[in-house]
Amino acid sequence: MKKIALASIILLSLGIILFGCVSQQAPNNAVNETLEASMARMENKMTSMESRLTALENSFTQKLSQLGIPTQFYYDSNCKFCANADYVDLATGLVDKLKSQGIQLEIIDVKGNMTRANALGIKRLPAFYATAGAISKSKELTDLFNELEANHFTITNAVDGLAALTNDPSEVTNDACNLKDGTVRLREFYSETCAFCIRMNYANGTAYNPATNPRYASVSNEAVEEVNKTLGSKITYEKYCIPLHTAPDNVKLIGVNKSDEELCAQKQSRQELEKASSLASDYAIASAPLFVIDCKYVFNAVTADKLKQSICAARPDVC
């Protein structure tokens, strides 16, 4: 009897345990089914969201394509010294051409307010500007800046992009620095290997750019000497040597194995060279000869007539 009772108790206990396991498994299965259903619904929603985002991205890209990659041309109608008409005509003529290439060119007249140009790091006007991102995504925009550089625009770094600056004539976006005595502050930037700046010789002493050569009939330093004969008392003249060529360049050019930096160092002190570099950066000057009047107006001149005309255009009071 005792053995039967014990067996009954054991069977009863096993039954309870098995019932408990089955009862516990049932809720777990229900939970799993609920989770699986929720996951399936979330996956469907994610797929739907991805489809919508793809459609939105395609729509945005299409609208951008219709609007065109933004590019700006800045000029100052208040600058009477600047050749605004010529450059505005150039920009206007490019509008339709660039639009057909997916580039939207906006022409902006700052009207004497340089805030926007300065915020973009544009140092002189007139100028074209485009973001680096826009240039990297558009072969046509890259071609435009290359073409501008080939046509004697200076390409400089600007805030988040590039600027293509006109050289002759142009206006510095910073304030002028008129001298108290009323004279014209005339700064010339030249290079020791600039054939339009000074008379040069090959390493063997032969003239590289004699005045008998029609191309070099006049050079800028001779133009300054000529203008000084009539306006010398009204001009405060400063001359700055800037490096344009490397030593290998100059070996090919005139047979001299020295860089422009070395040649400049033979003519000016370290302090003068540092000032030349700083000023050239302020005015975004990367070629020669270039002149700057009163820290404001930049132009090129190799003849006395052009130099005097430019001085009188910027400062009619001294003429």
The DSSP secondary structure of 97-153, one letter per residue, reads HHHTTTEEEEEEE-TT--HHHHHTT--EESEEEEEHHHHHH-HHHHHHHHHHHHTTP
Structural domain contains residue 3: no
**pLDDT tens for each residue of 196-229:** 999 999 999 999 999 999 999 999 999 999 999 9
The answer, yes or no, to whether the previous bond of 27 is cis (omega within 30 of 0) is no
Could you tell me the pTM of the whole model? Answer: 0.78
Please count the other Cβ atoms lying within 10 Å of the Cβ belonging to residue 259: 19
Residues 190 and 119 in one domain: no
Residue 160 sits in a domain whose CATH number is 3.40.30
Distance CA 267, CA 258 (A): 13
**Is residue 191 situated within a structural domain?**
yes
Residue 169 preceded by cis peptide, ω within 30? yes
The pLDDT tens digits of the residues spanning 43-83 come to 666 666 666 656 554 444 444 444 467 899 999 999 999 98
Q: Is residue 2 part of a domain?
A: no
Q: Which of 110-119, 130-139, 157-166, 288-297 has the lowest mean pLDDT?
A: 130-139
Last residue of a domain, one of 168, 197, 222: 168
How far apart CA 35 and CA 24 sit, in angstroms, is: 17
Q: Does residue 119 share a domain with residue 100?
A: yes
Distance in angstroms (rounded) separating the CA atoms of residues 85 and 79: 11
pLDDT of residue 45: 61
- Averaged confidence pLDDT in the chain: 86
Interstrand relation of 127-131 and 161-165 (parallel, antiparallel or unpaired) = antiparallel
Residue span of the structural domain in which 262 resides = 175-318
109 and 184 housed in the same domain: no
- Give the percent of the chain with pLDDT over 70: 79
- Cα separation, 202 vs 253, whole angstroms: 8
Which of 148, 168, 188 delimits the end of a domain? 168
- On the question of pLDDT at 180 being above 50, the answer is yes
Give the number of domains in the chain. Answer: 2
Tell me, what CATH number does 236's domain have?
Answer: 3.40.30.10
| 158 lies in the same domain as 193 | no
Q: What is the mean pLDDT of residues 18-30?
A: 48
The phi and psi torsions of 215 (rounded to 5 degrees) equal: -65, -30
CB-based contact 168:307 (threshold 8 Å)? no
SS (H, E, C) 178-214: CCCCCCEEEEEEECCCCCCCCCCECCCCCECCCCCCH
Looking at the fold, whether 179 and 307 belong to one and the same domain comes out as yes
- Same domain as 147, residue 184: no
Residue 309 has pLDDT above 70, yes or no: yes
Specify whether 192 is located in the same domain as 312: yes
